[in-house]
A = this chain, B = another copy of it.
Amino acid sequence: MTFTYKQKVLFKYCDPAGIVFFPRYFEMMNDCVEAFFDQIGHPFETLHKDGGVPTGKIEARFHAPSRHGDHLSLTLTGKRITRSTFDFTIVTTCDGAPRMTYAATLIFIDAHGKSTPWTDDLRAALTPYLNNEA
């Protein structure tokens, strides 16, 4: 299973060159992950009450610029789950053409900021999205 998130390129995301300013892309990535956790029944606003899922590692490639008004499609695919981490990719396309590929690792932490094992609930919610082929 994968999770898809749609995002129009808004004015606020664009730089003086009229294309998405790259730090804003990372906001979109975070929004996509936040929407994904909504989808799997563990919204960020609940999850962050006594812990969190900070990002430990990122690899990103920008294939072509995205412009104001572009309709982007972000597809999140799980890659690996360990005791307390989740690796995933988000592939961003516009009309099927690649714009950005993003691979990142989330770390599940407790209220003290220490990595901690995924709860059974969270593990069960994340697992269906694992897809090593994609």
Residues of A within 8 A of B (CB): 9-12, 14-19, 21-24, 26-27, 29-31, 34, 43-46, 48, 52, 54-62, 65, 67-69, 113
Contacts and interface: CB of A to CB of B under 8 A. Distances in A.
Nearest to A43: B69
B56 A11 contact: no
B45 A56 contact: no
A-B complex: 3 closest residue pairs judged by Cβ atoms: A45-B69, A23-B26, A16-B18
B55 A68 contact: no
Contacts of A43: 69
Given A44-B11, A69-B44, A54 B19 contact: yes
Contact of A58 (B44, B56, B58): B58
